[in-house]
Amino acid sequence: APNNATLHARYATVQMSMKDMPGAEASLRKALAIDPGMGGAQLSLLNVLVGQKKFPSALALAKSVQQRQPASPNGYKLEGDVLSAQDLHAGAARAYERAFALQPSGALMAQLHGALAKAGKAADANARMSDWLSKHPRDIAARIYYASGLLVAKDYEGAAEHLHAVLRFEPSNVLALNDLAWASQQLKRADALSYAERAYKLAPASPAVLDTLGWILYEN
């Protein structure tokens, strides 16, 4: 079935698992020659090119997607990914901004936030994310992403606030419980252990959960 784009794309995943990146690139190019609009193949090819540090080719792919699909965010997202891989964060932020303007989403907001923060515009990044979450309070993935960044920045109070919001919608979210346990422990709150134990009951084999629970028990 030489004209089946899906099979060429699936074969590329096998080649990638075998670390045959040149072969995967060839298979993905065949898939896109047959069906230029395959979003999954576009992203896979971009990742293969970036992995081989073929940045000009990756950028050319993103530009070609923009030309073929001017109303789609995909080409601008791909451009942002290429620029991010080269630590060109200001340019990446501009690309993600254009993608977000075409089709707003929590995933794009997270990428835009990350690019802005790395470009030295943390205040702008946080303001944009806070505005998004105020309008989309049930965007669990974006909220957890933001809370994780606050934890890294040691803003435990801010992280705890967002993690509590996650648990109001998803009381059994293991990642939120585990991160809230850690944030609460840093804030010297008595409920830290209870959150860690709830996470442990839900995911007793998780290394991250075991690590948090172990440290809280040790520090207590």
Q: What is the DSSP letter of 153?
A: T
Q: What is the DSSP letter of 15?
A: H
Residues 16-45, buried b or exposed e (16+ Cβ, 10 A)? beeeebebbbbbbbbbbebeeebeebbbbb
88: left (phi over 0), alpha (psi -120 to 50) or beta: beta
Question: Tokens 């850690």 belong to which residue?
Answer: 182
* Total count of residues recorded for the chain: 220
- pLDDT tens digits along 95-115: 999 999 999 999 999 999 999
pLDDT at 37: 87
Question: Tokens 């099979």 belong to which residue?
Answer: 7
**CA nearest to 158, candidates 193, 194, 122:** 122
* 149: its two tokens: 């960044």
Considering the entire predicted model, what is its pTM? 0.85
Distances from the Cα of 119 to the Cα of 44, 65, 168, angstroms: 26, 25, 33
pLDDT beneath 70, residues of the chain: none
pLDDT at 39: 87
- pLDDT tens digits along 23-45: 999 999 999 999 998 989 999 99
Handedness of CA 138, 139, 145, 150 (dihedral sign): negative
